[in-house]
Amino acid sequence: MPRRSSSESVPNAMKPRYDKIVAVTDAFSEEHLNAEYAQLCRQMAATLARKRPSPLQAGRVNTWAAGIVHALGTVNFLFDKTQEPHLRAGDIAEAFGLAKNTISGKSKQIRDLLKIGLMDPDWTLPSRMDDNMMAWMVSVDGLILDARYLPREIQEEAYRKGLIPYVPDKRC
């Protein structure tokens, strides 16, 4: 399974637009979320900026920033009251001065463009990776198994192939 790039590099032509969007997501993350969300927001904005043509060229900066936060929040259960941090979709809309429908529409567009699903390991907060069962499922002889319970040598091979985020009890 190809993994997303964690690079924050963007084409020179997209750099000014990227910087504006990231300034908004960084400020929002600092005030309402955490450093992990800020980093993933930067990485998602960079991924969108590298697409050809980049969808970030059109639309309002605030709408893209809110859509990025919402898309990552969807993957990481930000809207679940039992999670920390926790926000309601309405809180995001209010903070960005946008309608909830506008934000959820932009979020959906982003998730579709980047082929992001619920609990997508590529966009899971690092602190939540242990709890994301999708990051650990591998096929062994046609059976879907949790790699955390497989022998060490199979875990190491799965890691080398990019199938799991790290070897359990040996973070890389």
Domain boundaries, the chain: 12-120, 136-172
Across the 172 residues of the chain, what is the mean pLDDT of every consecutive 10-residue run? 66 95 97 96 96 94 97 94 91 95 96 92 89 85 89 90 84 50
pLDDT at 171: 52
pTM of the model: 0.84
Q: 12-120 — its CATH code?
A: 1.10.472.10
CA pair distance 160, 54, nearest whole angstrom: 31
Which tens digits make up the pLDDT trace of 72-104?
A: 999 999 999 998 899 999 999 999 999 999 999
Structure tokens at 68: 């990025």
Which three-class secondary structure state does DSSP give residue 56? helix
